[in-house]
Chains A and B, each alone.
Chain A
């Protein structure tokens, strides 16, 4: 079974530029998550989709971050404009159940490492 795919793996941009990340979840997985992992910290949830609807985006800085999940499959996360503090690894994860639950294991992609100069 193919895992969660993310691209690009690395991105370097100047502050105030825009950037987009792409995630392809495991086939058939209803729920998709984006996490931000700043160096030296654990991942922090940014947004959660169930199919193509947003369930939780309370931690997403909506003035500069946006995300969408087209047709309940692939997802993109965009930052515009980027700030220095956005330097982090952005992790995408997916899980099978549309209703979630503690037994619904999240499978993580390798992440995109963003450096903002």
Chain B
């Protein structure tokens, strides 16, 4: 079985500050890992994904995430927050040959001026 834990249902940062959204996963086989963003009243949009190879993955809008097997983590970062980054962020995992992701509960990113 696979699962995802997102630490913190809400994260608040100031504009220009570092964004760090935490994600830990559980999987008995090598995982595929995803981050999705959901803006208000919109569907989910893929930010980035890790499949194999380089453990530091760069995505859209300046976001990146690093796969750390020893820590079973896939934290999402962005050096400088922008007001437009305010949204709900979901970490997801798939494994065992299934490409259907299991989603975490989401983290709401709040950006203060």
Determine whether the beta carbon of A45 is less than 8 Å from that of B46: no
Indicate whether A43 reaches chain B with its CB closer than 8 angstroms: yes
Interface of A is mostly: loop
The minimal Cβ–Cβ distance linking A29 to chain B, given in whole angstroms, is 14
Task: Name the CB-closest residue of A to B9.
Answer: A40
Determine whether the beta carbon of A100 is less than 8 Å from that of B103: no
Indicate whether B113 reaches chain A with its CB closer than 8 angstroms: no
* Known A48-B100, A56-B100; contact A108-B105, beta-carbon cutoff 8 A: no
By size class, the interface of chain B is: 20 to 34
Determine whether the beta carbon of A102 is less than 8 Å from that of B51: yes
Determine whether the beta carbon of B51 is less than 8 Å from that of A103: yes
Determine whether the beta carbon of A108 is less than 8 Å from that of B100: no
Point out the residues of chain A lying under 8 angstroms from B46, CB to CB.
105-106
Point out the residues of chain B lying under 8 angstroms from A9, CB to CB.
41
B window 21-45: CB within 8 A of A:
32, 41-45
Residue ranges of B at the interface with A (Cβ–Cβ < 8 Å): 4, 9, 32, 41-46, 49, 51, 90, 92, 94, 99-100, 102-106
| 7 more CB-based (< 8 A) A-B contacts, given A43-B44, A48-B100, A101-B99 | A43-B90, A45-B100, A93-B43, A102-B99, A103-B51, A106-B46, A110-B42
